[in-house]
Amino acid sequence: MCLSYLTPIALAAALAVQGASSNDPDALYRDRETLSSAQRAAEIWTDRLKQNPNDFESAWKLARARYWLGSHVSEQDRKAMLESGIEAGRAAARIAPDKPEGHFWIAANMGALAESFGLRQGLKYRGPIKDELETVLRLDPAFLQGSADRALGRWYNEVPRLFGGSNKESEAHLRKSLTYNPQSTITLYFLAETLLDEGKKEEARQTLQKVIDAPLDPDWAPEDRDYKDKARKLLAEIH
């Protein structure tokens, strides 16, 4: 931010806001595309959780931050980051077992591990991921605009049929998730992948175009940009 044009009073006010933001983990996390901001937010939530092991909000927000970081830090740091995200999610679920946040972010971190680190990790977390997501569905199916159905749709697409995978179930869960937010870039992208696996190329193309055309969600703009980029690349690969 350029501050040189401000009057002394306005400059002092702006610097005060910047200083406050540097210690506000929510503000820092909103700037998560700057990884140092996301890392600082995670540090603050870690410290708060150490000071108060029953701090539910810090626990689940830490799990969420570590999920984001686990998808964006260097390859050598990702596994440890996601594993620590699972632990933070478990802390949240222990503190408030009847709330969806902890269960969802446990599953999200496990899912990222399963997708990123091979068959062994996939088999290790296959059952626990599904259990946590089904818990979220039981507690609050509308949580994060149907995110449990979206993640289960992904689960059924990624897991081999021998272990319970099913493109039919994947499509059903993803379409259910879209009833909460028809313009969800992540859900639409996952649906396009399932449609491709089902041989529905034209519908997959149309769905990927919807990802590209969807407006940015102010709360999820970094994720939206990621999936718009993925959609453009996948669309170019379809013949």
What pLDDT is attached to residue 5?
A: 42
What class is the 141-158+168-239 domain? mainly alpha
pLDDT at 159 (0 to 100): 87
| pLDDT confidence of residue 163 | 79
Q: What is the pTM of this model?
A: 0.86
pLDDT of residue 160: 81
Counting as low any pLDDT under 70, the low residues of the chain are: 1-21, 117-123
Burial (CB < 10 A; 0-12, 13-18, 19+), residue 54, is exposed
- To which residue do tokens 């701090």 refer? 55
Predicted local confidence at residue 14, as pLDDT: 41
Tell me whether the CATH fold assigned to 32-140 matches the one assigned to 141-158+168-239: yes
Superfamily of domain 32-140, CATH level 4: Tetratricopeptide repeat domain (1.25.40.10)
Q: What is the pLDDT of residues 160-185, one digit of tens each?
A: 887 788 999 999 999 999 999 999 99
Domain ranges of the chain: 32-140, 141-158+168-239
CA 50 to each of CA 6, 42, 44, 56: distance values in angstroms, whole numbers, following the listed order = 40, 12, 10, 12
Which pLDDT belongs to residue 125? 84
C-alpha count within 13 angstroms, C-beta hemisphere, residue 177? 28
Buried b (16+ CB within 10 A) or exposed e, 4-35: eeeeeeeeeeeeeeeeeeeeebeebbbebeee
